[in-house]
Amino acid sequence: MAVGALTLSGVSVASTDAIPGDALYSVKRTSEQAQLVLAGSDANRGQLHLEFARSRLVEASLVEPGAVDAVFAAMDAEVTAGARMLFSTAIQRGDGSALDAIEAFVKQQRTDLTRLRLELPHADEQLRRSLDLLQDVETRANLLRAALLGACSVTQVDQLGPSPVC
């Protein structure tokens, strides 16, 4: 049993740098799903989703041009899931620290996406969509911060989670 566990953990570690199209990529994604299950809270799961979005961004710069769109779609799905969980956590706890984490992520991700535009001119449309999503996430974080201060009420929920009405 110990040998099996060591083998599985070794394969999991070996898959860390896998990109779409690699034999170990499905192991990498399965490992990510396991991390989400074991995360313990929505705040931790939200942070993991944002980390996985960073991984997808790195993968986008390494895959063949025909695979870039799917990688960006996966990245945007991770951003959306992470933001939704962290926004919900911020509102449930009445605590802006989850918003701080999102704002730091958006700042770094926007910088990296902008840099990537120079490296992947064929992916300009996908990059623009991802940058638009980051703008939406940043705007929502600002509105939720206002809601936490009592300037807005949260009465709606959409794909990004709680949506304040100011």
Question: For residue range 71-82, what is the model confidence (pLDDT) as tens digits?
Answer: 999 999 999 999
Which whole number is the average pLDDT over 10-34? Answer: 80
Mean pLDDT rounded to a whole number for the chain: 89
**DSSP line for the chain:** -HHHHHHHHHHHHHGGG--TTSTTHHHHHHHHHHHHHHS-SHHHHHHHHHHHHHHHHHHHTTS-GGGHHHHHHHHHHHHHHHHHHHHHHHHHHT-THHHHHHHHHHHHHHHHHHHHHHH-GGGHHHHHHHHHHHHHHHHHHHHHHHHHTTSSEEEEEETTEEEEE-
The pLDDT value given to residue 15: 61
b/e map 36-52, b = 16+ CB within 10 Å: beebeebbbbbbbbbeb
Please tell me the distance from the alpha carbon of residue 63 to that of residue 82, in angstroms, as a whole number: 24
Which whole number is the average pLDDT over 91-116? Answer: 95
Which sequence spans correspond to the domains of the chain? 40-165
The pLDDT value given to residue 43: 95
Which whole number is the average pLDDT over 139-150? Answer: 94
Higher pLDDT, residue 121 or 126: 126
The pLDDT value given to residue 1: 52
